[in-house]
Amino acid sequence: MSSALIRYHIAHLRQSPATGVFLAAGWVATILLTFVHGQFMAANRADLSLFFSYLPWVMALLVATLTMSVATEGARGVTERLATLPFSPFQQLSARFQVYWLLLGLWLLGFAPLVATLYYLGEPDFGPIVTGFLGSWLLAAPLLAVSLLVCRYAASAVGGLLESLAANFGLLLVGMPWVASWLAQVPGFGWMPATAHATLMGAYVPFTQGLVNLSAMLLLLAVALLALSAAVNRRTGIPIACGGMLLLLIAMVPSVGWMQLDITADSLHTPSEHTVRTLRNQGVPVTFTLHVSQNNPDVPAQVHTAVHNLTNLLLNLRAQAPKQVLLRQNNTDASTDAAIRALQAGVTEQNLLTGTVYFAGLEADIGGNKAVMPVIDPARQAVQEYDLMRLVAQAKANRKPFVTVIGNASGWENALADSFHITPLDPALTGTTLPSPTDVLMLAQDAPMPQPMLQTIQDYLAKGGSVLMMTDAYARTYPQPAAGPDMNLPSSLLPQWGITPTSNSVVADPALATLVQQSGQGNMPYPFWLTFGVRNMNDSLSYLLGLNKILLMEAGSLQLADGMTYDILPILTTSPKAHLVEHGAFMQTEPALANTLLNDNASGPAEARTVAAMVSGHFGGEGSATGNLIVVADTDWLSASAIAQAPQNLELLTNMLHALSGQHSLAHLRAKGAQPRTLTHIEAMSAALSAQSAQTEADIAKKLSEVGPEAAEEAFTLRQQLRDIRAQTRTRLAMLENALLAINLVVVPVLMGVVLLALRFRRKRNEQ
């Protein structure tokens, strides 16, 4: 193709003042939607997911405005002038398409300040950013081709604009889950949800998630070729249309769909080698049945996303373990019989506020042994692979795990009765055997036990058993009356395995302090009750997935030894501000004065401390089976009061027992993306101001404990300072957001204006 056509269309765009206006308007609209409508700063996510969700719609509008001048070329004589040149109609159209597509690529590069802003605010994953822009540029190809086709046959520029908008918005809307579900209710369109991935938005979404998918690329290019073929005469267009159809057919081949590159930092979309190897080597194939409502438009979008991701995982596993992984889908909206099959399988019916119901569950069948995931939980998307393999393990075992509990269960065993067989055992028993079977041994209290029972625990671990142990910081200081020469605490076994629990000391961490009610003083932060968030959890452990609030009450500390032959992983870790406080000082400290007196009563420097850990290894020496041990340095975290304040404590217990209940293959799985990437710069600013606020609150509490008019007057002054600090926090964050918004709105349009002025000045000089 001659470069003359390329230069002609470039000159046309450069000379048109509307081009710069449309491009600048596109930048401004996208940035405003991201920052203002999408609440970019408030979302606290170090990614561009919000930006990429708005970009296709802005790009559809931009493409329509750029191409609407094509509709008036006939009236302006441009068509006749181009017809006199020695180029075919397709060459002319292709040259225009290439120039406009290149322009849209340059327009996307104009969002570099937004990427720089994201890196200033946090530590994003670069993979989804790169693939997101690549996918956006590829998506621009079919949108541009359709707009050129529509405007070529439009009667006027306005008509071309409106028709292009309608066509492009329609193509984008068809790929939205809620539209597909709504259309599925129309007779004859029940197939829509199953083919939602074969749409422009369905092909675009994987790119925004960090995937370079060959099938998606071929689909977008195929649609562009088909649209371009329709814009030229039949003789020229048929070969182009055949090429587009060929690409489309290749894109629809299932095996091509798994030719993709996952460039996310944590390989979020790639099943682990251990999972694939486990499924390949199992003797009997596993049949997965998805019981999902596909035609209900009221199903929440996050449920659609979770089901879509789980389906992709299953299809990926089926492709990598052929004949060992089978997949079936039961559309529960198709008939009453389909809904009954879901209920019989154990899938839970979910009620919606609209009065309708939906199903979203998964059933696994291995040789007639079945297990079910009653609900596909959107909150557990980061550990879907773990949940899937846990389902496989349950189907293999064909029974609930058996958990033997030594100590008082304090009522939580009733909540776990549907998932486990709970067998209580008296810690004072002198027997040397455990009930059979025992998949997990749980030591709910750090109470003295006979030496034979302690030896039984050691032997159980040496044979590859799994133990969940709770320790008490006060157990050694205040031994039980039954303690004697032949009795000892279970925690006395831990040092030989690389874990030493501290005694007579509790951990106090002002950064993790829990708000407690104080009579006459309102809610006060209490540093001896620790509330752990995602930043204080080991996100590599799958049983912590989806948890964001774990409460430990008066926890001890675990010292983890180096150089051991065991694999030791921390589970819960405090902030670097944590202290160890002796029991006597702790008992004498009033809750209202805890933060003020913390430094005076602390033993040792402030540092991050481990309060829960996991040990795996050969507890019986080399050659023995691999055992697993989880230690939590608190016996009160499963009390009724703790679970009432932090219900996720019970969820953590359930996850731990599942991970330990003979399903050792699950220990190889790790949560992917469990800890979201956040705007760390904003969090650091907020944390610094919050620390200043906490110190002022502690000073107020101290002054309120004193008597006299001077103390009361000073407390009033401190309260005023506290209000000023909180107002300052809001003001500083708002100023930062406004400054970043202004920079992103102004920088690129100003640079573009400078470049255009320079080009115009250069052209005038050449004319002179």
Kindly report, residue by residue over 58-89, the tens digit of the pLDDT: 999 999 999 888 777 655 666 666 666 666 77
Q: Amino acid letter at 291?
A: H
Does the residue 511 lie in any domain?
yes
Average pLDDT over residues 653-681: 70
What's the pLDDT at 766?
73
Residue 275: strand, helix, or coil: helix
**Crossing angle of helices 200-208 and 157-174, rounded to 10°:** 70
CA 242 to chain centroid: 41
Read off the pLDDT band of 552 (50, 70, 90). very high
Asked whether residue 166 falls in the same domain as residue 41, the answer is: yes
Mean pLDDT highest for which of 47-61, 180-194, 275-289, 653-667? 47-61
What's the pLDDT at 192?
46
Does the residue 767 lie in any domain?
no
- Does the pLDDT value for residue 135 go beyond 90? yes
> Does 20 or 701 have the greater pLDDT score?
20
| Radius of gyration, CA atoms only, the chain | 32
Angle value at C-alpha 643, between 440 and 500, nearest 5 degrees: 55
The percentage of residues in the chain with a pLDDT greater than 70, rounded to a whole number, is 79
User: How many Cβ atoms sit within 10 Å of the Cβ of residue 52?
Assistant: 22
CATH number of the domain that 437 lies in? 3.40.50
> Does 417 or 24 have the greater pLDDT score?
24
The percentage of residues in the chain with a pLDDT greater than 90, rounded to a whole number, is 21
Asked whether residue 698 falls in the same domain as residue 652, the answer is: no
Asked whether residue 283 falls in the same domain as residue 415, the answer is: no
Asked whether residue 112 falls in the same domain as residue 183, the answer is: yes
- Does the pLDDT value for residue 767 go beyond 80? no
What are the pLDDT digits (tens) for 383-412?
788 788 888 888 887 777 889 998 776 667
What's the pLDDT at 601?
53
What's the pLDDT at 481?
47
Asked whether residue 172 falls in the same domain as residue 282, the answer is: no
Asked whether residue 597 falls in the same domain as residue 716, the answer is: no
> Does 365 or 474 have the greater pLDDT score?
365
Does the residue 172 lie in any domain?
yes
Does the residue 508 lie in any domain?
yes
Does the residue 254 lie in any domain?
no
- Does the pLDDT value for residue 550 go beyond 90? yes
Closest C-alpha among 424, 126, 98 to residue 263: 126
What's the pLDDT at 661?
81
Does the residue 159 lie in any domain?
yes
Calpha distance 242→222 (Å, rounded): 10
Residue 232: strand, helix, or coil: coil
What's the pLDDT at 181?
59
Calpha distance 142→709 (Å, rounded): 76
Domain count, the chain: 4
Output the 3-class SS for 538-582: CCCCHHHCCCCCEEEECCCCEEECCCCCCEEEEEEECCCCCEEEE
What's the pLDDT at 627?
86
Average pLDDT over residues 31-53: 89
Average pLDDT over residues 376-387: 82
What are the pLDDT digits (tens) for 239-258?
888 888 888 888 777 667 66
Q: Which of 174, 193, 212 is the last residue of a domain?
A: 193
Average pLDDT over residues 111-129: 91
Residue 172 Cα distances to 54, 213, 265, angstroms:
12, 19, 29
- Does the pLDDT value for residue 573 go beyond 60? yes
> Does 219 or 624 have the greater pLDDT score?
219
Q: Which residues pair with 469 in a beta bridge?
A: 443, 631
What's the pLDDT at 86?
63
Calpha distance 717→720 (Å, rounded): 5
Asked whether residue 343 falls in the same domain as residue 492, the answer is: no
Q: Which of 346, 368, 397 is the last residue of a domain?
A: 397
What's the pLDDT at 339?
93
Residue 31 Cα distances to 262, 678, 712, 741, angstroms:
28, 19, 50, 8
- Out of 270-284, 308-322, 706-720, least confident range: 706-720
> Does 178 or 657 have the greater pLDDT score?
657
What's the pLDDT at 282?
80
Calpha distance 428→409 (Å, rounded): 15
- Does the pLDDT value for residue 349 go beyond 90? yes
What's the pLDDT at 193?
47
Backbone phi and psi for residue 343, each to the nearest 5 degrees, phi listed first: -65, -40
Does the residue 253 lie in any domain?
no
Residues 6 or more apart whose Cβ sits within 8 Å of residue 750: none
Asked whether residue 664 falls in the same domain as residue 699, the answer is: no
Asked whether residue 456 falls in the same domain as residue 477, the answer is: yes
What's the pLDDT at 18?
80
Closest C-alpha among 434, 474, 468 to residue 453: 434
What's the pLDDT at 714?
65
> Does 399 or 591 have the greater pLDDT score?
399
Asked whether residue 566 falls in the same domain as residue 644, the answer is: yes
- Does the pLDDT value for residue 103 go beyond 90? yes
Does the residue 370 lie in any domain?
yes
What's the pLDDT at 245?
85
- Domain hosting residue 153, numbered range: 3-193
Mean pLDDT of the chain: 81
State both tokens at 337.
Answer: 């019989």
What are the pLDDT digits (tens) for 272-308?
887 888 888 888 899 999 999 988 878 887 888 888 8
Question: DSSP for 706-745?
Answer: S-SHHHHHHHHHHHHHHHHHHHHHHHHHHHHHHHHHHHHH
What's the pLDDT at 700?
59
What's the pLDDT at 685?
77
Asked whether residue 303 falls in the same domain as residue 415, the answer is: no
Asked whether residue 709 falls in the same domain as residue 619, the answer is: no
Task: Report the first-to-last Cα separation within the chain, whole angstroms.
Answer: 33
- Out of 83-92, 451-460, 632-641, least confident range: 83-92
Q: Which of 193, 222, 247 is the last residue of a domain?
A: 193
- Does the pLDDT value for residue 371 go beyond 80? yes
Backbone phi and psi for residue 683, each to the nearest 5 degrees, phi listed first: -65, -40
CATH number of the domain that 315 lies in? 3.40.30.10
What's the pLDDT at 220?
92
